[in-house]
Amino acid sequence: MPELPEVETVRRGLAPVMEGRVIARAEVRRPDLRWPFPPDMAARLTGQTVVRLGRRSKYMLAELSGGETLLVHLGMSGRMTVSGDPLGRFEHAHSAPDKHDHVVLEMADGTRITMNDPRRFGAMDLLPTEGMETHRLLAGLGPEPLGNAFNADHLADRLAGRKTSIKAALLDQRNVAGLGNIYVCESLYRARISPKRQAGRIGRERIEALVQSIRDVLTDAIAAGGSSLKDYRQADGELGYFQHSFDVYGREGQPCRRPDCGGTVTRIVQSARSTFYCPTCQR
């Protein structure tokens, strides 16, 4: 599933062709994805100007001139791709319709944004812009990991007394928003913290190192266009490249990248998810 860096990369790719532009025509080609589309979604989108394209956790949020916001989640295999950009930043020709092209936005300048989702775990919803932070998908989210509200004080408070593993604590979207399996594994490696360590037993100095590691990993991943393991593509259809920089994720049995370590990357299962780490240098 795309995590924060992938969603942010797609958002940045879509922003130049959506912000300040009019949706001339919206086409909804099926009644639902993960859940039913809102009533009359095509009509409610048609004629709207996209005021701002934002992101909260793993959700893109397109604020519309009519007072509603389009919420988009890419799910397991969703893509938002662009064609026909008149400024030449994307491929000019529109591709032939695909059976998994479920929502198409035709912009007034000829640009087309297509939501393609073979596995249909993605989602779209329309919600009132005013008070949208109270929407059921957004209300319980923790702070953005690249924002000022995410810091050592916050994380120390959220971890205090917790008996769960630090891996599970970081995957809990109430503690910090947008992190998933890949970037938690990579962040814990950089901070030299075992994913098995009890969350409430991590000292202040290590928490500060972990906060910085999370920020660094996410920043590096965004700069690389995210990670393409299966379905993920950027808005222009290109792959992400951060998977070539993984230190532990997917590297079971391979040597630790730290030259002074000598350990081997190990895979374990936590809460039915694969965890990759180096038991020699992550304690």
Annotated catalytic residue, options 55, 56, 58, 251: 58
Tell which residue, 262, 265, 283, has the closest CA to residue 275.
265
Q: For residue range 216-237, what is the model confidence (pLDDT) as tens digits?
A: 999 999 999 888 665 666 677 7
Same domain membership, residue 126 and residue 183: no
Annotated catalytic residue, options 30, 52, 120, 273: 273
Annotated catalytic residue, options 3, 6, 68, 186: 3
Q: Which residues partner with 25 through β-bridges?
A: 106
Same domain membership, residue 122 and residue 9: yes
Same domain membership, residue 190 and residue 126: no
DSSP state of 198: B
Same domain membership, residue 59 and residue 85: yes
Mean pLDDT value across residues 104-115: 95
Q: Active site includes 63?
A: no
User: Quick check: 187 and 172 in contact, CB under 8 A?
Assistant: no
DSSP state of 280: T
Same domain membership, residue 106 and residue 48: yes
Same domain membership, residue 176 and residue 75: no
Q: For residue range 14-63, what is the model confidence (pLDDT) as tens digits?
A: 999 999 999 999 999 999 999 999 999 999 999 999 999 999 999 999 99
Same domain membership, residue 220 and residue 102: no
**Which residue segment(s) compose the domain that 236 sits in?**
152-277
Same domain membership, residue 16 and residue 110: yes
Q: Is there a domain that residue 228 lies in? A: yes
Q: Is there a domain that residue 145 lies in? A: no
Domain count, the chain: 2
- DSSP letters spanning 4-55: HHHHHHHHHHHHHHHTT-BEEEEEE-SSBSSSBPPTTHHHHHTT-BEEEEEE
Q: Is there a domain that residue 204 lies in? A: yes
Q: Is the pLDDT of residue 67 over 80?
A: yes
Q: What is the pTM of this model?
A: 0.92
Q: Is there a domain that residue 142 lies in? A: no
Cα–Cα distance, 251 to 25 (Å, whole number): 46
Q: Active site includes 2?
A: yes
Same domain membership, residue 159 and residue 118: no
Same domain membership, residue 117 and residue 12: yes
Q: For residue range 179-204, what is the model confidence (pLDDT) as tens digits?
A: 999 999 999 999 999 999 999 999 99
Q: For residue range 124-183, what is the model confidence (pLDDT) as tens digits?
A: 999 999 999 999 999 999 999 999 999 999 999 999 999 999 999 999 999 999 999 999
